[in-house]
Structure 1
Amino acid sequence: MRKKLAAATSTLLAVCASLLTVAQPAHAADAAGFHVSDGRLLDANGEDFVLRGVNHAHTWYPDRTDQALKDIKALGANSVRVVLSTGDQWTRNDTADVAHVVAECKENRLVCVLEAHDTTGYGEAGAAAPLSRAVDYWLGVKDALVGQEKYVLVNIGNEPYGNTGYQAWTADTKTAIGRLRTAGLDHTLMVDAPNWGQDWSFTMRDNAADVFAADPDRNTVFDIHMYGVYDTAAEVRDYLGRFVQARLPVVVGEFGDMHSDGNPDEDAIMATAQSLGIGYLGWSWSGNGGGVEYLDLAQNFDPGRLSAWGRRLFDGADGIKATAREASVFAGSGGDTTAPTAPGTPTASGITARSLRLAWPAATDDTAVTGYDVVRVDGSTETVVATSATPGADITGLAPKTAYTFAVYARDAAGNRSSRSASVTATTAADQGGETGSCAIAYRLSDWGSSFNAEVTIRNTGTAPVDGWRLDFAFPGGQRINSVWNARATQDGDRVIVTHESWTRTIPAGGSVSFGLNGTSTGGNGVPASFTLNGAACTTG
Structure 2
Amino acid sequence: MKRKLSVVATALLTAATAVLFFTGPAYAATGLHVVGRNIVEANGQTFVMRGVNHPHAWYANRTGSFADIKAAGANTVRVVLSGGRWTTNTASDVANVIALCKANRLICVLENHDTTGYGEDAAAYTLDQAANYWIGLKSVLVGQEDHVVINIGNEPIGNTDPGQWTAATVAAIRKMRSNGFEHLLMVDAPNWGQDWTYVMRDNAQTILDADTRDNTVLSIHMYAVFNTSTSIVDYLDTFERNGWPLVIGEFGWQFAAGEVDDATILSEAVRRNLGWLAWSWSGNTDPILDMTTNFDASQLTTWGQRIVNGPNGLKATAKEATIFGGRPTTSPTVSPTVSPTPTLSPTPTPTQTTPPPPAGACTATYSVTGQWGGGFQADVKVTAGSSAIRGWTVTWTYANGQTVSQAWNATVTSSGSSVTARNVSYNGSLAAGAATQFGFLGSWNGTNSAPALTCTAS
CA contact (8 A) 1:2 1:57 kept: no
Q: Is the 8 A contact 1:113 1:155 kept in 2?
A: yes
In the alignment, what sits opposite 2:73? Answer: 76
Tell me what 2:49 maps to: 51
1:122 and 2:118 matched: yes
Q: Name the stretch that deviates more: 8-17 or 188-197.
A: 8-17
Residue matched to 2:163: 167
Q: Tell me which residue corresponds to 1:137.
A: 133
User: TM-score if structure 2 supplies the norm length?
Assistant: 0.70
Deviation per CA, 1:160-195: give whole Å up to 9, x if none.
011002110000000000000000011000000000
Kept after mapping to 2: 8 A contact 1:106/1:151? yes
Within the alignment, does 1:302 sit opposite 2:299 as a pair? no
More helix by share: 2
Q: How far off is 1:260 after superposition? A: 8.9
Give the partner amino acid of 2:299. R
1:17-53: CA deviation from partner (whole Å, max 9, x where unpaired) = 214013525x4xxx33011111211011111111000
Shift in Å, 1:4: 3.7
Aligned to 1:328: 322
Pairing of 1:241-320 with structure 2 (within 5 A) = 241-258=237-254, 262-289=258-285, 292-320=286-314
Select 2:38's aligned residue among 34, 40, 45.
Answer: 40
Aligned CA RMSD, in angstroms, stands at 2.5
Q: Give the conservation status (yes or no) of the 8 Å contact 2:169–2:187.
A: yes
Q: Distance in 2 between matches of 1:205 and 1:85?
A: 27
**Equivalent residues in 2 for 1:108-507 (5 A)?**
108-258=104-254, 262-289=258-285, 292-331=286-325, 338-339=337-338
Whole-angstrom distance in 2 between the partners of 1:317 and 1:195: 30
The residue aligned with 1:13 is 15
Gapped regions of structure 1 (runs ≥ 5): 341-378, 382-416, 424-541
Residue ranges of structure 2 left out of the alignment (5+ in a row) = 328-334, 340-389, 393-404, 412-458
Inter-partner Cα distance in structure 1 for 2:256 and 2:93: 33
2:53/2:79 contact within 8 Å kept: yes
Rounded to whole Å, the distance in 1 between the matches of 2:154 and 2:92 is: 21
| One-letter code aligned to 1:83 | V
8 Å CA contact retained: 2:336, 2:406: no
Instruction: Give the Cα separation in 2 of the matches to 1:79 and 1:48.
Output: 14
Letter of the 1:52 counterpart: R
Give, in whole Å, the separation in 1 of the partners of 2:59 and 2:128.
26
CA distance in 2, matches of 1:130, 1:259: 33
- Distance, in Å, in 2 between the alignment partners of 1:332 and 1:251 is 21
Q: Deviations over 1:442-462 (max 9, x none)?
A: xxxxxxxxxxxxxxxxxxxxx
Change (3 A) 1:2 1:232: closer
Higher relative contact order (CA 8 A, sep 6+): 2
Q: Secondary structure at the match of 2:200?
A: helix
Paired letter, 1:326: E
SS class of match (1:209): helix
Aligned counterparts of 1:49 and 1:191: Cα–Cα separation in 2: 18
* Mapped partners of 2:62, 2:325: distance in 1: 27
Secondary structure at 1:305 match in 2: strand
Q: Which digits, 9 at most, give the CA deviation of each residue in 1:346-383, with x for residues without a partner? A: xxxxxxxxxxxxxxxxxxxxxxxxxxxxxxxxx999xx
Distance 1:260 1:108, change over 3 A: same
* Bigger Cα displacement from structure 2, 269-278 vs 13-22: 13-22
User: Partners in 2 of 1:45 and 1:260 — Cα distance?
Assistant: 43
1:3 aligns with 2:3: yes
| Deviations 1:255-284 (CA, angstroms, capped at 9, x unpaired) | 111479941000000001110010000100
Name the CA distance, whole Å, in 2 between partners of 1:338 and 1:259. 38
Q: Does the Cα contact within 8 Å between 2:319 and 2:326 map onto a contact in 1?
A: no
Count of paired positions? 338
- In structure 2, relative to structure 1, the CA distance for the partners of 1:173 and 1:259 (3 Å cut) is farther
- Give the equivalent residue in structure 2 for 1:403: none
What letter matches 1:45 in structure 2? N
